[in-house]
């Protein structure tokens, strides 16, 4: 047994008082969970502590909170680990999840944010034609690709951690976009292109994710929502060629083309190529994209003025000495009909490599 | 110490002061830089978004070139390169058959990526703590940066996901900047944004979201009393420094806080002058930091 101090953020809207911190000392074995600690504090000291929970085994997804600032399931976080992560002299700081309004103490309004966003992506199958007599049959193989997004338990922990949503509450967000991929990747669904088009054109859709990895880091089920968002983008750009007005397509195409041509990033070319898809003169430019390009003129001017960027650098960029090799690699890989993707969630680590990893870990 | 050095595209492009300051600082830390001049872009997450096999091959190519530099690990100076390359390395190391397949694309060039051993790819600030050591650094400090309040900005790609960034072996990698700031005699400033996202990856797609992120972190650092920020990521630098005048509009307040590249902070402590370290090339002027440095020199 050991003594743990839980510092809980308390808030009761009916009281008319502001939120406040309250410490509870619990004496428990260190391998027990933060949720166990909170429930003990509630049982022994203050029956008014509010927290949602049910299964206590990381299955139901009810007890999302922030422990020492990190979004987690309280039932899935050991007291001993939480103490190690403490930034306040060993006190375990427990707050409600972020990016959602607080109802009371550790309970947030999932309906107002999480579920609203999930509904936004039409989270059900939209098959076409007359329904079959019995169930829709699908190859087990064809569903492997979406198993990772199907592992989601809708706990909202990724929503809580999302750094893009922190500044843009309208962002559809990691959980809902991962759910969107679950149907985009389902061979039975007949509205793949419409779904992709919708999420690409939404100003707060798939191109509002900044690659910050916060959702990947916190997901208790290894859904890696950001990776699902990247899959949506890959399908939207490479397979469906959806030229969205957010410039997601343009940016990706310009970047990939620049590396093909020069081997390293020619930054001065990125913006005009992103917006003009190759050349400003030759191709049509989306009005929204043109506005962005004009908006970025002062930045370019600042770059020149500070001496960071010389006019020479804007105009000329040296190719790599072996650029033909980079181009050959592009041709070899992009010339194939199928894209090869290794998803470690699905394949795991191969056996012959595991032994080596263990040895490294024991040093 | 000899390292296969990958400076990244941005340090050769829009933040030349980063590449320049690294070249000045490395010999003072006894680091011999063998620059990978034939290596290609890491993909910065964008090529990965486009085609995983392509990005894994491109980075395996870089690793293979680095492994040809005898007796040396690989060093980068960009959080984004670190993260993008670690992601590919994780896949390459996880599956032998996949690694062989990727290597088959490198064969015509006579290159091959080998898994295992002690070979690692590290950002300079990781290498400094793990391979040079803070005590050795302290001995080399010529000008302790006493009184300078520095807010660290790590960059997402070196802090998440911990599962593939070596945190099992080096659990404190997301605290090293704080330790180093302390070791060079300056004062690390704690603030909300130190491990958050600068917003740069979507600057051309959603400027509002992008610059609200940058602006908020800068404002938090200012409110916490920082004289400057320091970052090991040139892409973060672009959003935090080059875009700072615009970011100020999106958070509706004045900003004006200088942002140093990580090697510049080291250089100041190792006795180099702001000008030698390219600090005159920043968009947000480093005047007040320069003045503090002059005071320290005079004291």
- Are residues A230 and A147 both part of a single domain? yes
Contact A296 B156 (CB under 8 A): no
Question: What average pLDDT score do residues B100-105 get?
Answer: 98
Question: H or E segment at A250?
Answer: helix A248-262
pLDDT band at B33 (very low <50, low <70, confident <90, very high): very high
- Are residues A143 and A82 both part of a single domain? no
Q: How many CB pairs under 8 A join A and B?
A: 214
Q: Which domain holds residue A263?
A: 253-334
Q: State residue A292's pLDDT score.
A: 66
- Are residues A176 and A126 both part of a single domain? yes
Q: State residue A273's pLDDT score.
A: 78
Tell me which chain B residue has its CA closest to the CA of residue A300: B242
Q: State residue A355's pLDDT score.
A: 43
- Are residues A75 and A119 both part of a single domain? no
Tokens of B226: 């920082």
Q: State residue A115's pLDDT score.
A: 98
Q: If phi over 0 gives left and psi between -120 and 50 gives alpha, with beta otherwise, what is residue A350?
A: beta
Tokens of B61: 């190519």
Interface of B with A in 107-166 (CB under 8 A): 108-109, 115-116, 156-157, 160-162
ipTM score over 0.85, yes or no: yes
Q: State residue A167's pLDDT score.
A: 97
Q: pLDDT tens per residue, chain A (363 residues)?
A: 889 999 999 999 889 999 999 999 999 999 999 999 999 999 999 999 999 999 999 999 999 999 999 999 999 999 999 999 898 889 999 999 999 999 999 999 999 999 999 999 999 999 998 989 998 888 888 899 899 999 999 999 999 999 999 999 999 999 999 999 999 999 999 999 999 999 999 999 999 999 999 999 999 999 999 999 999 999 999 999 999 999 999 999 999 999 999 999 988 888 777 776 544 444 555 566 666 667 777 777 787 777 777 777 777 788 998 999 999 999 999 999 889 999 999 888 765 554 444 444 333
Q: State residue A305's pLDDT score.
A: 79
Q: State residue A354's pLDDT score.
A: 47
Tokens of B227: 């004289």
Distance CA B173, CA A142 (A): 40
| C-alpha pair distances (Å), B162 with each of A151, A247, B63 | 21, 31, 21
> Does the structure show a pLDDT above 50 at B86?
yes
Tell me which chain A residue has its CA closest to the CA of residue B243: A299
pLDDT (tens digit, 9 = 90+) per residue, B56-77? 999 999 999 999 999 999 999 9
Where are chain B's structural domains? 2-123, 134-298
Q: What angle do CA B275, B276, B278 make, to 5 degrees?
A: 65
Cis peptide before B3 (omega within 30 of 0): no
Q: State residue A349's pLDDT score.
A: 72
Residue A259 domain-assigned (yes or no)? yes
pLDDT (tens digit, 9 = 90+) per residue, B152-187? 999 999 999 999 999 999 999 999 999 999 999 999
Contact A163 B283 (CB under 8 A): no
Q: Report the domain count for chain A.
A: 3
Residue A248 domain-assigned (yes or no)? no
The last residue of a domain, from among A239, A273, A296: A239
Q: State residue B125's pLDDT score.
A: 98
Domain of residue A8, CATH code:
3.10.20.30
* CA-based torsion, B283, B287, B292, B297: positive or negative: positive
Q: Do B153 and B198 touch, CB atoms closer than 8 A?
A: yes
- Are residues A194 and A268 both part of a single domain? no
Collapse the DSSP code of B289 into the 3-class scheme (helix H, G, I; strand E, B; otherwise coil) and give the result.
helix
Collapse the DSSP code of A108 into the 3-class scheme (helix H, G, I; strand E, B; otherwise coil) and give the result.
strand
- Are residues A290 and A218 both part of a single domain? no
| Bridge partner residues of A275 (DSSP) | none
Helices A225-234 and A174-184: crossing angle in degrees, nearest 10, is: 50
Distance CA B297, CA B87 (A): 43
Percentages helix, strand, coil for chain B (3-state, rounded to 5) are: 55, 10, 40
Partners of residue B280 in chain A, C-beta under 8 Å? 307
Tell me the CATH class for B2-123: mainly alpha
Domain of residue A177, CATH code:
1.10.1060.10
Nearest Cα to Cα of residue B145 among B183, B175, B178: B183
Preferred mutation among A333, A335, A357 to probe B, highest tally of B CBs within 10 A:
A333
Partners of residue B37 in chain A, C-beta under 8 Å? 321
- Are residues A72 and A153 both part of a single domain? no
CB atoms within 10 A of CB A51: 21
Q: State residue A302's pLDDT score.
A: 81
> Does the structure show a pLDDT above 70 at B245?
yes
Tell me the CATH class for B134-298: alpha beta
Contact A259 B14 (CB under 8 A): no
- Are residues A45 and A116 both part of a single domain? no
């Amino acid at each position: 047994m050991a003594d743990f101090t839980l510092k809980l953020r308390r808030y009761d809207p009916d009281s008319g008082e502001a939120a406040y911190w309250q410490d509870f000392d619990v004496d428990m074995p260190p391998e027990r969970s933060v949720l166990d600690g909170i429930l003990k504090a509630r049982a022994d000291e203050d029956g008014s502590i509010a927290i949602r929970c049910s299964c206590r085994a990381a299955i139901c997804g009810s007890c999302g909170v922030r422990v020492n600032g990190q979004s987690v399931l309280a039932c899935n976080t050991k007291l001993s680990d939480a103490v190690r992560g403490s930034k306040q002299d060993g006190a375990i700081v427990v707050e409600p999840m972020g990016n959602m309004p607080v109802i009371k103490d550790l309970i947030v309004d999932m309906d107002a944010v999480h579920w609203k966003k999930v509904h936004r992506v039409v989270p059900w199958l939209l098959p076409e034609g007359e329904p079959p007599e019995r169930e829709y049959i699908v190859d087990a193989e064809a569903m492997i690709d979406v198993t990772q997004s199907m592992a989601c338990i809708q706990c909202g922990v990724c929503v809580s951690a999302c750094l893009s949503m922190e500044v843009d509450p309208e962002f559809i967000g990691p959980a809902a976009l991962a759910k969107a991929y679950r149907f985009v990747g389902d061979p039975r669904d007949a509205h793949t292109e419409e779904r992709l088009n919708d999420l690409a054109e939404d100003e707060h859709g798939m191109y509002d994710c900044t690659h910050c990895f916060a959702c990947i880091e916190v997901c208790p089920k290894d859904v890696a929502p950001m990776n699902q968002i990247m899959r949506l983008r890959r399908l939207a750009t490479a397979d469906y060629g959806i030229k969205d007005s957010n410039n997601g397509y343009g940016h990706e195409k310009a970047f990939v083309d620049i590396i093909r041509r020069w081997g390293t990033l020619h930054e001065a070319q990125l913006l005009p190529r992103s917006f003009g898809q190759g050349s400003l003169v030759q191709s049509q430019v989306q009005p929204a994209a043109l506005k962005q390009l004009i908006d970025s003129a002062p930045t370019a001017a600042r770059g020149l003025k500070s001496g960071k960027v010389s006019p020479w650098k804007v105009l000329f960029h040296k190719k790599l000495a072996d650029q033909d090799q980079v181009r050959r690699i592009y041709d070899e890989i992009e010339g194939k009909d199928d894209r090869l993707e290794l998803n470690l969630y699905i394949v795991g680590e191969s056996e012959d490599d595991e032994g080596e990893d263990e040895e490294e870990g024991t040093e | 110490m000899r390292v296969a050095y990958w400076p990244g595209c941005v340090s050769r492009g829009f933040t030349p002061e980063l590449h320049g300051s690294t070249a000045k600082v490395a010999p003072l830390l006894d680091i011999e830089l063998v620059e990978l001049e034939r290596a290609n872009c890491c993909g910065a997450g964008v090529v990965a978004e486009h085609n995983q096999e392509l990005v894994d091959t491109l980075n395996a190519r870089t690793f293979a070139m680095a492994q040809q530099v005898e007796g040396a690990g690989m060093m980068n100076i960009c959080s984004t390169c670190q993260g993008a390359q670690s992601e590919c390395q994780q896949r390459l190391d996880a599956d032998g058959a996949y690694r062989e397949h990727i290597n088959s694309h490198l064969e015509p060039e006579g290159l091959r990526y080998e898994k295992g051993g002690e070979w690692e790819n590290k950002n300079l600030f990781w290498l400094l703590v793990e391979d040079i050591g803070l005590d050795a650094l302290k001995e080399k400090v010529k000008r302790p940066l006493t009184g300078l309040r520095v807010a660290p900005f790590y960059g997402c790609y070196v802090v998440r996901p911990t599962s593939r960034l070596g945190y099992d072996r080096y659990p404190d990698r997301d605290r090293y900047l704080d330790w180093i700031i302390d070791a060079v005699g300056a004062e690390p400033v704690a603030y909300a944004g130190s491990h958050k996202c600068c917003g740069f990856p979507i600057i051309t797609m959603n400027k509002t979201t992008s610059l609200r992120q940058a602006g908020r972190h800068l404002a938090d650092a200012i409110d916490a009393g920082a004289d400057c920020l320091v970052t090991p990521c040139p892409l973060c630098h672009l959003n935090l420094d080059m875009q700072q005048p615009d970011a100020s509009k999106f958070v509706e307040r004045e900003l004006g806080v200088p942002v140093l590249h990580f090697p510049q902070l080291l250089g100041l402590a190792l006795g180099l002058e702001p000008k030698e370290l390219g600090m005159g090339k920043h968009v947000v002027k480093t005047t007040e930091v320069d003045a503090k440095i002059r005071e320290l020199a005079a004291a």
